[in-house]
Structure 1
């Protein structure tokens, strides 16, 4: 890797190459008023290798000579060029800020305890390494993240199942729906037909039932998936739907009621529960008027879901609770070891 070309790239960001008699390193300095940044490029591709203690010593000297008059500074960043990432791993744990560049794969490695960016130079460095087009990748990620693919597929699956059932018979015929996967406590618990807990979440009794559920799912599911991510959203949707079906079937079975049920409502209420948690945890995402409108919409859906006498309240309540609990668990922050 051409270290001088990398130095030139930092020069384009306003960094000056400070003269030094230490072989294998370049000290780059940028200052404006009380603000200052120092990057040290270390070539560790050949012996003798510079270790963490030597970098600590250089860091202390630079802080004294270059940063004393600039109290607004993020400290010194070392950019370590290496042909052995394993050899340098301990350096990232030595108390200094360091980015590691694998010269073979041209890969930038930033560990969890290290700064994600420094002097806005990360994008430049990644572009310089050339192993990916960062701006293009970020744009593609943004476009991909904006398409709620899982929710689109879920809506499509519900509609396709409805059409197939209508072709085969009538979705308003209870006996027909029972024969095609609807939930019924006696069949589930006495007949061990537990698959109905899943299949029942994709069948709807009539067009109105389907349309009302799908409109709600589109309105709330798209936003939930964009915030949660596709995998977490799918887990919450399926788990809430199956769990709601289980609670509902068990409730009516214990009560001795002969209730045949189906629909995506339990899963949808799980998504509503997820949004309630997200609204509380992500106030920046739901700000101002939009936040109020969204809360009012959710409350309206909840009201309609619980006050309609034909609605399966047990399934809705179970889905809501499951959605809240699962979202809380899945959005808890955990410290990772490496980015």
Structure 2
């Protein structure tokens, strides 16, 4: 990979760089791993904390908080592989919109559940995997709208998606709700944007 590759995918590259910078800050402050309280100090998400401090920026900042080197390496590797492809397919503007919506819904939907019934009130979450699941959802929308082009890609990715969801369910440190919420946000955003594009193309 050379500098020209990075220039082709500026949004994906930017997300990885931000995650890396935030991790370096956490490394300097707390060492190679963080506990929940340290992560909260840097901008991680907790429903109870958001409700009482009204720090809604955590819906965004939490996406760039990683608890250890393995966490960030796996997430950023996955993001580059899928993100570069989706940024090329969707185009920079639509891709940025989908990423932004997935970033918010990753913790936004669990927060609504927390307000309703105290859902995951004691958990602290962070990581860019919610956005990754948002991009998987975006690919699902592409497969639904353009079956002939993207369905085979979706089917090849489906076993990995099922495996990641199972891991999210089994391992308590991984936020299943964040992954599912990111997926939903990415799917709905992409479906809406592409339907709008198809309608515009038909009119013209």
SS of 2:199's equivalent in the other structure is coil
Match of 1:312 among 166, 172, 175: 175
> In the aligned structure 2, how far is the partner of 1:248 from the partner of 1:208?
25
Contact 1:183 1:249 in 2 (8 A): no
After superposition, the C-alpha distances for 1:268-312 in whole angstroms (9 at most, x for unaligned) are 111110011112323443375x56433333443343334433211
Change (3 A) 1:208 1:249: farther
Q: Which residue of 2 aligns with 1:76?
A: none
Structure with the bigger RCO (C-alpha within 8 Å, sep 6+) is 2
After superposition, the C-alpha distances for 1:22-75 in whole angstroms (9 at most, x for unaligned) are xxxxxxxxxxxxxxxxxxxxxxxxxxxxxxxxxxxxxxxxxxxxxxxxxxxxxx
Between the two proteins, the alignment pairs up a number of residues equal to 195
Q: Which residue of 1 aligns with 2:14?
A: 153
Structure number with the higher strand fraction is 1
> In the aligned structure 1, how far is the partner of 2:142 from the partner of 2:188?
12
Structure number with the higher helix fraction is 2
> In the aligned structure 1, how far is the partner of 2:22 from the partner of 2:148?
38
How many Å apart are 1:247 and its aligned residue? 2.2
Change (3 A) 1:315 1:210: same
**1:58-69 correspondence runs (5 A):** none
Structure 2 residue runs without a partner (length 5+): none
> In the aligned structure 1, how far is the partner of 2:120 from the partner of 2:12?
35
Contact 1:201 1:264 in 2 (8 A): yes
After superposition, the C-alpha distances for 1:177-199 in whole angstroms (9 at most, x for unaligned) are 11111112222111111111111
Q: Which residue of 1 aligns with 2:65?
A: 203
Q: Which residue of 1 aligns with 2:55?
A: 193
> In the aligned structure 2, how far is the partner of 1:303 from the partner of 1:271?
18
Contact 1:251 1:314 in 2 (8 A): no
Q: Which residue of 2 aligns with 1:266?
A: 130
How many Å apart are 1:252 and its aligned residue? 4.7
Indicate the structure (1 or 2) with the bigger Cα radius of gyration: 1
> In the aligned structure 2, how far is the partner of 1:233 from the partner of 1:161?
22
Change (3 A) 1:293 1:194: same
Structure 1 residue runs without a partner (length 5+): 1-142
Contact 2:139 2:154 in 1 (8 A): no
Contact 1:241 1:268 in 2 (8 A): no
> In the aligned structure 2, how far is the partner of 1:256 from the partner of 1:277?
28
Q: Give the TM-score of the pair, scaled to structure 2.
A: 0.82
How well do the aligned residues superpose, as a CA RMSD in angstroms? 2.7
